[in-house]
Amino acid sequence: MNVSPESETIHAQLNVHERTDGRLLITLAHQNQREGQQRLTELAERFTTTINKTIPEGAEKEAKATIIQNGSRSSELEIAFTANRENLIRVEKTLIQERGLSNYVQVQRPIEKDYNEDLKRATPFIVAYQEASGREYIAGRYKKEIDAYAAVAEKALEKPQAQVSAYMEIKTLEGAQKVELAHYDQESQKVIATPEFGKRVEEQQKQQEIQDRQQKVGLAAAKANAGDIKVVDRDGNTVAKTEYTVEIAANGQTKLRKESQYDQEELTREGTSGKDLQTAMNKEVASATGAGKGNVDGADLKDTKQDISQQQESKRGMSM
């Protein structure tokens, strides 16, 4: 590139600590200390103004400039700011302009699929807390208003000295703007929400109550029909068993899951197969207990074997 002479008088290095704490170190070359002081003042004003003019009050700490060194030939300036995507883009544009590279450098950002944007759309509600120092931390992103609302209250209890809020990021021509939806009021000890956000939370709370009631009813019904059914021999040994477990879906619907186990060696000694014995046993117990908890003793086992033998004899007679 054939760049302008001015671009060689300013260099910058960006460092990001703890993922959100940005430090931009600018090194200037100049003819004398007076010129350096003037350029430092102008640069500090331009960078901090560019970043701070789009930050809603209290949303994040403001960018601040600190003169590290003001020498006769070179000087150093540090810009401290919150290193989110929008601020990084502003810093990038300002650097390109200050170095006189506007006619030489063009930044093209990805236009293909951005999974970060998908994540933001899927979980648009951001819960964050700001400490007394002014530093802001994101506590989590949420898909539903009710979850973000609950997270604000939970984080406020965990961080009583911090300012906790929920917001969305709205894209504008100048970058992303934060729109606050709810915050925790320490004086009233409750979450204060905007009317529309609060309305959505109430609707979702009602839906959740309905699902909870359905789940309780389903669980009670499932428990009434759940349990273990087993077959024991005369010595009390379990030779066949069916275990019933309850599965509850998110919508409150329940389903019984059945798993059968056999002691095949013992069943062989008893002269029948586990499948035949279990099928017959299940029918008997289901009719007597409604598939509830049952226990078939040795006498029942003998009767069941006789029933199976009679059925097998009958089948052989028909085939002959």
Q: Average pLDDT of the chain? A: 75
Predicted TM-score (pTM) of this structure: 0.40
Does residue 110 register a pLDDT over 80?
A: no
For residue 87, count other CB atoms closer than 10 A to its CB: 23
pLDDT higher than 80, residue 12: yes
What the block records as the tokens of 99 is 């170095």
Q: Is the pLDDT of residue 145 over 50?
A: yes
Instruction: Give the other-Cβ count within 10 Å of 275's Cβ.
Output: 12
Name the CATH code of domain 5-98 (choices 1.10.10, 3.30.1360, 3.40.50, 1.25.40): 3.30.1360
Interatomic CA distance for residues 81 and 297, integer angstroms: 77
pLDDT digits (tens, 9 = 90+) for 200-256: 999 999 988 887 787 777 666 655 655 555 666 666 666 666 666 666 666 656 566
**Tens digit of pLDDT for each residue in 20-42?**
889 999 998 888 988 888 989 99
Bigger pLDDT: 281 vs 55: 55
Residues comprising the chain, all counted: 320
- Per DSSP, the three-state class of 84 is coil
286: pLDDT strictly greater than 70? no
Beta strands in 153-237 (DSSP E): 163-172, 175-185, 190-193, 228-232
β-pairing verdict for 125-130 and 294-296: unpaired
Contact between 73 and 29 (Cβ < 8 Å):
yes
What tokens appear for 56 in the block?
A: 């809603």
Per-residue pLDDT tens over the stretch 205-215:
998 888 778 77
Domain residue extents for the chain: 5-98, 121-218, 226-319
